């Protein structure tokens, strides 16, 4: 199997198809062979469409005629199991939907197909996409390709594990609390949560908490994140949250010199592992050397607007109201973790209103920060990939609950800000460490510029997972 195929960027594969140095058939076969070799160890991909090689042969024939379907002509892609795929089982990680086969593709799937992409597999996720581990009663647990026994994160953990291990060059994930960025962080790849409303949610499930939900790419390069965004973005006439805001050209990402960067290695996200703090500091120093104006950012007061507490209250109230009629007395079919979550008493009316008010305060505070900075540089997560089923995190001399894994990402789902996770270090144990770049609404181009610069600096020491 050729590693120059399975670890190539999606954009590189597309270009090689255009210049005829690789064929869509070679690329599809290499990825299917990789899946056969690696997926039994990782359990990242869980359902497969018919006709992949037939579609690859059609793409090859078209290319030989000089006909190209779009910027992803002949490039494989994978899809998280809560995103609809016509004719292919979409279980949403639950036995309640074990036999569910959608009639139509989600908007983002349609757009990738229309761009010439070839859909090759669905990826694993936790039940209802509402957990920070990737495990369910339908398909079981997904492993981290960097270290078996460690989590790939959630809820897009299957997608991140597949992309990191060379089974897919481009994946569709979703993010309501960090579910694109945290798995990308744990698996040493790139995850982009665009501005809320930039990419339509049509065909994504659950259809709850939509004002905080995002769909986006999980890839191996910042350039691929930009390419995928350019294909997936824009209103579709169905999702009323999708806004007709033009996307700037992101095909060429300029150097970040002159940008104002506010960085925070811990602050309101404490406790954060020392090696993660050091990685954020190193990234800040690197941006300073590239000509950015870099200074520590004061996030005092953010502790009072805890994204974790806010989201827990809102999700408990709205999520339960949405899910109760769907479950309809079949709670015994759910995973124990989901049963426990649904049994948590919802907030009082006053607590719910307080949480909604805190969302507005958090949004106002974030907008105010961007009067002084072009981007924020933060940890993607407070720790590296942890062992499965960790219930308490020991960080330095402090202890934090399991949900602390998402403390750095949740706030920016609540604000809808664009946020990008890029790898920038390795832990003492050889696990990836990512940094998070957050920007103003609809300024994805700016965070992509910063991410591309950091990616280039980290490239020589990035490595590949040992799986």
Q: Smallest Cα–Cα separation from 401: which of 309, 263, 339, 326?
A: 309
pLDDT tens digit sequence for 348-374: 999 999 999 999 999 999 999 999 999
pLDDT tens digit sequence for 178-222: 999 999 999 999 999 999 999 999 999 999 999 999 999 999 999
Give dist(CA 123, CA 88) in Å, integer: 12
In the chain, pLDDT over 90 holds for what percent of residues? 90
Give dist(CA 230, CA 371) in Å, integer: 27
What does the angle CA 178 – CA 184 – CA 189 come to, to the nearest 5 degrees? 155
If you write DSSP's letter for every residue of 301-337 in order, what string do you get? TGGGG-HHHHHHHHIIIIIHHHHHHHHTT-GGGS-HH
Specify the pLDDT at position 302: 84
First to last CA, the chain: 14
* Helix intervals (H) in 95-221: 107-114, 157-164, 181-187
Whether the predicted pLDDT of 257 surpasses 60? yes
pLDDT tens digit sequence for 214-239: 999 999 999 999 999 999 999 999 99
Give the alpha-carbon dihedral of 250, 256, 258, 261, to 10 degrees. Answer: 110
pLDDT average, residue stretch 19-35: 98
Q: Of the residues 165, 168, 179, 417, which is catalytic? A: 179
Give catalytic status of residue 155 as yes or no: yes
Whether the predicted pLDDT of 1 surpasses 70? no
* 128: alpha, beta or left? (left if phi > 0; alpha if psi -120 to 50): left
What global pTM score does this model have?
Answer: 0.97
pLDDT tens digit sequence for 407-436: 999 999 999 999 999 999 999 999 999 999
**Under DSSP, is residue 344 helix (H, G, I), strand (E, B) or coil?**
coil
Give dist(CA 108, CA 117) in Å, integer: 11
Give catalytic status of residue 179 as yes or no: yes
Q: Of the residues 23, 80, 165, 421, which is catalytic? A: 80
Query: Containing H/E element for 274?
Result: helix 274-289
Q: Classify domain 3-461 by CATH number.
A: 3.90.1300.10
Give dist(CA 433, CA 385) in Å, integer: 9
pLDDT band at 330 (very low <50, low <70, confident <90, very high): very high
Q: Of the residues 23, 94, 123, 155, which is catalytic? A: 155
Specify the pLDDT at position 212: 95
**Under DSSP, is residue 14 helix (H, G, I), strand (E, B) or coil?**
helix
Residue 406 makes CB contacts below 8 A (sequence gap 6+) with 132, 177, 178, 182, 308, 381
């Amino acid at each position: 199997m050729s590693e120059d195929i399975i670890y190539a960027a999606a954009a590189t594969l597309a270009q090689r198809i255009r210049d005829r140095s690789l064929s869509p058939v070679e690329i599809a076969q290499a990825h299917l062979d990789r899946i056969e070799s690696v997926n039994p160890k990782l359990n990242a991909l869980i359902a497969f469409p018919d006709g992949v090689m037939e579609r690859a042969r059609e793409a090859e024939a078209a290319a030989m005629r000089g006909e190209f379907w779009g910027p992803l002509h002949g490039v494989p892609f994978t899809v998280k199991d809560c995103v609809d795929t016509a004719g292919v089982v979409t279980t949403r990680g639950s036995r309640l939907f074990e036999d569910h086969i959608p009639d139509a593709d989600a908007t983002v799937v349609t757009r990738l197909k229309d761009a010439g992409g070839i859909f090759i597999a669905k990826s694993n996720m936790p039940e209802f996409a509402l957990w920070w581990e990737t495990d369910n009663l339908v398909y079981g647990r997904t492993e981290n390709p960097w270290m078996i026994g460690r989590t790939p994160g959630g809820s897009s953990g299957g997608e991140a594990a597949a992309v990191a291990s060379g089974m897919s060059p481009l994946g569709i994930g979703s993010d309501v609390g960090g579910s694109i960025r945290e798995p990308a962080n744990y698996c040493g790849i790139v995850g982009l949560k665009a501005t809320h409303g930039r990419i339509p949610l049509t065909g994504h499930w659950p259809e709850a908490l939509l004002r905080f939900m995002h769909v986006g790419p999980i890839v191996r390069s910042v350039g691929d994140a930009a390419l995928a965004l350019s294909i997936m973005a824009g209103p579709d006439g169905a999702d009323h949250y999708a806004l007709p805001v033009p996307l700037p050209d992101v095909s060429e990402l300029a150097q970040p010199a002159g940008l104002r960067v506010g960085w925070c290695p811990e602050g309101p996200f404490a406790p954060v592992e020392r090696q993660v703090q050091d990685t954020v500091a190193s990234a800040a120093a690197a941006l300073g050397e590239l000509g950015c104006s870099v200074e520590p950012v004061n996030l005092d007061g953010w502790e009072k607007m805890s994204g974790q507490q806010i989201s827990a209250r809102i999700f408990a109230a709205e999520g339960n109201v949405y899910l109760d009629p769907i479950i309809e007395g079949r709670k015994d079919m759910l995973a124990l973790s989901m049963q426990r979550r649904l049994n948590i008493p919802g907030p009082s009316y006053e607590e719910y209103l307080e949480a909604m008010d805190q969302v507005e305060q958090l949004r106002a505070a974030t907008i105010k920060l961007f009067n002084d900075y072009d981007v924020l540089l933060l940890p993607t997560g407070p720790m590296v990939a942890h062992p499965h089923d960790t219930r308490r995190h020991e960080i330095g001399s402090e202890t934090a609950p399991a949900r602390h894994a998402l403390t750095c990402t949740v706030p920016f789902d609540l604000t809808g800000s664009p946020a990008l996770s890029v790898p920038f270090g390795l832990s003492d144990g050889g696990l990836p460490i990512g940094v998070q770049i957050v920007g103003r609404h609809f300024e994805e181009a700016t965070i992509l510029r910063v991410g591309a610069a950091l990616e280039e600096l980290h490239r020589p020491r990035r490595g590949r997972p040992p799986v």
